[in-house]
């Protein structure tokens, strides 16, 4: 089957890719609103329950390094079908896990296999006409972000009605359906790289060394996602302890973050118009400011929800701006570029989750807010130091 852009990138294919990215990444986020429930069910501490998030993110980083580069070397439809089938099996295992230790192990497997979402994003960039790349990528990324948000809401709702195991069993069925849909509808896409798997992995280091823009954007993205991970790792515990929130209410909090997904589409349009580098600083600044209302959010629902909106808008808008910039660097290496950027991104998330669990256990919510605000501020300071002035001068001069 041809892989030409005019024949393959139909609106239906874009919607399928957006839905697929959302469902794949959702597999990694079902646990977040259920952490307090897991702690109660298995008799573990909040720190140990939070390890489910950290282990899943570390598994995701492993998948980014070992699996995503194959998108440059292998036919991508076959790679996507294989990874989504494995994710379906891992979700089934999670739903049947007999103890917390088994859940930790399976969460790593889910993290590794659910990187199919990060095969779909560069695939959309590969197939998109250059003038529409930001818009099409932002559509797929909006699906991915909605998957993150709706995963938390759906997990909380299903767990409240049928228990936490039902969350993963239903997820396994949906993932199997996605696997079959991708097999039936996606076009075949020829590889863009040759050679061996070992040579492919070695080339990742060369790409990292040769692309300063990629390194800078990876640092900014990783610090932003550290702030995001810090928030969500501890939010369920705080909401249950301070507001008496149920799993359904905790999951529902994620719905206010839909504005973050809408912001992602706006970020893509800004990037197409040439504002991406400058807009990044604005989005990162939003993530810094979000921690002001979040700091007091343990006492006030309105302030808490306002902070959630600002945090989602800032982190997701910066993420889209980052990805649009890095996918311009080397069209033949987009999967490996994804590996570098998203590995830095999720490493930041894992660090933020780990520090958040420790901070909450010792200092409570204010400790978490301090961690999140510090990570976001570090991202803004770094952006201002390495890109801010250059980005504004470049935009003002029309370069």
pTM comes to 0.78
332 secondary structure, DSSP code: G
The answer to whether the beta carbons of residues 65 and 339 sit under 8 Å apart is yes
Biggest alpha carbon–alpha carbon distance for the chain = 62
From CA 35, how far away is CA 151, in angstroms rounded?
A: 14
Tens-binned pLDDT, residue by residue, of the chain (399 aa): 344 443 457 888 889 999 999 999 999 889 888 888 888 888 888 788 888 888 888 898 899 889 989 988 888 899 999 999 999 999 999 999 999 999 999 999 999 999 999 899 888 878 877 777 777 877 887 788 788 878 888 888 898 889 899 999 999 999 999 999 999 988 888 887 878 899 989 999 999 999 999 999 999 999 999 999 999 889 888 998 888 888 778 777 877 777 666 665 677 677 666 676 788 899 999 999 999 999 999 899 999 999 998 998 899 889 888 988 898 888 888 889 988 998 899 889 889 988 998 999 999 999 999 999 999 999 999 999 987 655 555 555 444
CATH number of 5-397: 1.20.1250.20
Nearest-CA neighbor of 317 among 373, 275, 370, 375?
A: 275
| Predicted pLDDT at 246 | 80
Between 76-95 and 11-26, two packed helices, what is the crossing angle to 10 degrees? Answer: 40
Q: Residue 3 has what pLDDT?
A: 43
Q: Could you give the residue ranges of the DSSP H alpha helices within the chain?
A: 5-8, 11-26, 35-42, 46-66, 70-73, 76-95, 100-113, 117-127, 133-162, 164-185, 197-210, 212-243, 247-253, 258-272, 276-289, 291-295, 301-326, 334-363, 365-383, 389-397
Provide the pLDDT for residue 278.
80
- Please give the span between the terminal C-alpha atoms of the chain, in angstroms, as a whole number: 40
User: With 0-12 CB in 10 A as exposed, 13-18 as middle and 19+ as buried, what is 125?
Assistant: buried
Q: Answer whether 325's CB lies under 8 Å from 277's CB.
A: yes
C-alpha separations of 243 from 137, 233, 239, 293, 365 in Å: 38, 17, 5, 16, 13
Domain ranges in the chain? 5-397
Is 312:130 a contact under the CB 8 Å cutoff?
Answer: no
């Amino acid at each position: 089957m041809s892989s030409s852009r005019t024949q393959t990138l139909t609106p239906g294919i874009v919607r399928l890719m957006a839905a697929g990215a959302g469902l794949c990444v959702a597999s990694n986020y079902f646990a977040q609103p259920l952490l307090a429930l897991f702690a109660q069910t298995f008799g573990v501490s909040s720190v140990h329950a939070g390890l489910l998030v950290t282990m899943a993110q570390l598994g995701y980083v492993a998948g980014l390094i070992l699996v995503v580069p194959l998108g440059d070397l292998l036919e991508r439809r076959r790679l996507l079908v294989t990874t989504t089938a494995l994710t379906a099996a891992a979700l089934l295992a999670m739903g049947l896990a007999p103890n917390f230790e088994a859940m930790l192990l399976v969460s790593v497997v889910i993290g590794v296999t659910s990187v199919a979402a990060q095969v779909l994003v560069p695939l959309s960039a590969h197939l998109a006409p250059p003038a529409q790349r930001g818009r099409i990528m932002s559509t797929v990324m909006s699906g991915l972000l909605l998957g993150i948000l709706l995963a938390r809401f759906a997990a909380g709702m299903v767990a409240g009605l049928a228990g936490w195991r039902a969350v993963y069993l239903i997820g396994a069925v949906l993932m199997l359906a996605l696997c079959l849909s991708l097999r039936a509808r996606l076009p075949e896409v020829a590889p863009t790289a040759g050679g061996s798997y070992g040579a492919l992995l070695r080339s990742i280091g060369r790409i990292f060394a040769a692309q300063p823009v990629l390194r800078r954007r990876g640092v900014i993205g990783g610090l932003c996602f550290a702030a995001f991970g810090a928030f969500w790792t501890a939010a369920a515990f705080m909401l249950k302890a301070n507001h008496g929130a149920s799993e359904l209410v905790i999951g529902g909090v994620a719905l206010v973050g839909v504005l973050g997904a809408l912001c992602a589409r706006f970020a893509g349009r800004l990037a197409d118009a040439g504002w991406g580098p400058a807009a990044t600083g604005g989005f990162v600044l939003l993530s810094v400011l979000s921690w002001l209302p979040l700091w007091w959010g343990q006492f006030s629902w309105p302030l808490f929800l306002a902070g959630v909106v600002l945090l989602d808008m800032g982190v997701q808008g910066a993420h889209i701006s980052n990805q649009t910039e890095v996918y311009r660097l080397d069209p033949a290496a987009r999967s490996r570029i994804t590996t570098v950027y998203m590995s830095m991104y999720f490493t930041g998330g894992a660090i933020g989750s780990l520090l958040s669990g420790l901070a909450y256990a010792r200092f409570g919510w204010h400790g978490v807010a301090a961690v999140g605000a510090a990570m976001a501020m570090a991202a803004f300071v770094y952006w201002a130091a390495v890109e801010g002035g250059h980005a504004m001068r470049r935009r003002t001069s029309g370069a």
